[in-house]
Chains A and B, each alone.
Chain A
Amino acid sequence: MRTVDNAASANQSRWKKLRNDTSLLMRFAAMILYYFTTGRRLRRLYRECEARGEVFYVDEDPAESERRLR
């Protein structure tokens, strides 16, 4: 999951700044949602792999990992 290193915000108007801040908050919301949905699923799969002594492939679609673990 990538963090946010957005472009420089020099010389922007108050409205543009507000718009950028809102957009950043939306990105955080999406990031947090992703962390608690896809992330939870991934963490569960990883723990399952760990318990079974198998490998969770980080470059594999989690759905594929789920099928493999079934």
Chain B
Amino acid sequence: MKNGRIKPENPPPPEYAFGYRHPPRSGNEINGLGESTRRQPRHVFHSAGGPPLDWQALDDFFGLISPWSVLRHVIGNAWQLRNKDGPVNPEQREVADAAGMAIEIKERARQLGADLAGVSRITDGALYEGIQVPFKYAISIGMKMDREQMAHVPQVTAAAEVMRVYKEISRVAVRLAKQIRNMGWPARAYGNPNSTDILQIPLAVNAGFGQLGKHGSMISKEFGSNFRLAAVLTDLPMACDEPVDIGVDDLCLSCRRCVTDCPPDAIFDEKQLIRGEKRWYVDFDKCIPYFVKTNGCAICIEVCPWSVPDRGPSLSAKMLAKRGVRVGSDRAGSESG
């Protein structure tokens, strides 16, 4: 690591000693690459125990070649999430001030250990096809990863850090959900990165955490992409945050760092049409084999200029100023951080 920048040292080549005898349907097709009509996303990889997915065999293989140092955090996470739901206090606390409640909940999330917290209304785009959840709101929470550990991408040290943070953020989500249920409102924690119900990124974008980057991951002003997400779904009335523009597109359109550093060349230079919407997208069929080979890769999120510690605010100001947006007029991070 030099000046906070990470340059992966000798990442393995995108050559694989594993493969399919009967290749599954393209993950890009399942994800809706090139589709012009809007529809909800479908599960393709990372099953959480539901019906087998098209890429199930590779997913199972991924789990079995994961080192124990990673797997132990996966198990720890699942153990915590046994308490993701629970009984609701029959004495319901009345909420007269939804804005005040949102502030209180975000403060509680921070006290429990979250680095980012925001509220959004649950939309269809954040739910997998065929899934309905009995809640109106999502409290997205983010937790930063240890940059020193993540500097080892795409090695096991970084993969273990990713899963450690998922375990820690689940702990926060479970406790926050419990506090809300104690207030007499239903709430359920979602901390499993393999969730079969919700997509964390659309919720976090709507909660004002940041924007989707060229590498297909969230970019926040505070931590770039060096953080992980969880959520609590609830009916507790709260004022919602708004999506923010921190200038991610402005940089991603000219920056090629993740593109050039991606060993399997999976990152597109331009936005793609995905389920009726132009957005940044990563070629699933190229990314996932390398992701599996390296126990979770993560090169793109760590080489991203936004992920350099303390760089985000100045980068955002610079990008927005170039476009003529008065710095400080956006509310990026002002409430979510």
Q: Which residues of A contact B (CB under 8 A)?
A: 1-6, 8-12, 20-21, 24, 28, 31-32, 35, 38-39, 42-43, 46, 49-50, 53-60
B18 touches A57 (CB 8 A): yes
Residues of A within 8 A of B71 (CB): 35
Asked whether any CB of chain A lies closer than 8 Å to the CB of B325, the reply is no
A2 touches B84 (CB 8 A): no
A58 touches B84 (CB 8 A): no
B74 touches A42 (CB 8 A): no
Subset of 19 A-B contacts with CB under 8 Å: A3-B48, A4-B81, A5-B50, A5-B81, A8-B85, A10-B87, A21-B82, A28-B75, A28-B79, A35-B68, A43-B64, A50-B17, A54-B17, A56-B17, A56-B18, A57-B19, A58-B60, A58-B61, A59-B20
Q: Which residues of B contact A (CB under 8 A)?
A: 16-22, 47-50, 57-65, 68, 71, 74-75, 77-79, 81-88, 186, 188, 192, 194-196
Q: Which residue of A lies closest to B61 (CB)?
A: A58
A42 touches B65 (CB 8 A): yes
B18 touches A9 (CB 8 A): no
Pick from B21, B64, B188: contact of A1, CB under 8 Å: B64
Interface Cβ pair total, 8 Å cutoff: 107
Pick from B16, B59, B78: contact of A4, CB under 8 Å: B78
Given contacts A3-B194, A28-B75, A32-B75, are A8 and B87 in contact (CB under 8 A)?
no
Residues of A within 8 A of B85 (CB): 8-10
User: A20 vs B81: C-alpha distance in the bound complex, in angstroms?
Assistant: 12
User: A46 vs B60: C-alpha distance in the bound complex, in angstroms?
Assistant: 14
Distance in Å: Cβ of B284 to nearest Cβ of chain A: 16
B82 touches A24 (CB 8 A): yes
Distance in Å: Cβ of B171 to nearest Cβ of chain A: 16
Interface centre among A1, A54, A55 (most CB of B within 10 A): A1
Q: Which residue of A lies closest to B55 (CB)?
A: A58
Distance in Å: Cβ of A21 to nearest Cβ of chain B: 6
Residues of A within 8 A of B84 (CB): 8-9
User: A59 vs B263: C-alpha distance in the bound complex, in angstroms?
Assistant: 25
Distance in Å: Cβ of A66 to nearest Cβ of chain B: 15
User: A59 vs B23: C-alpha distance in the bound complex, in angstroms?
Assistant: 9
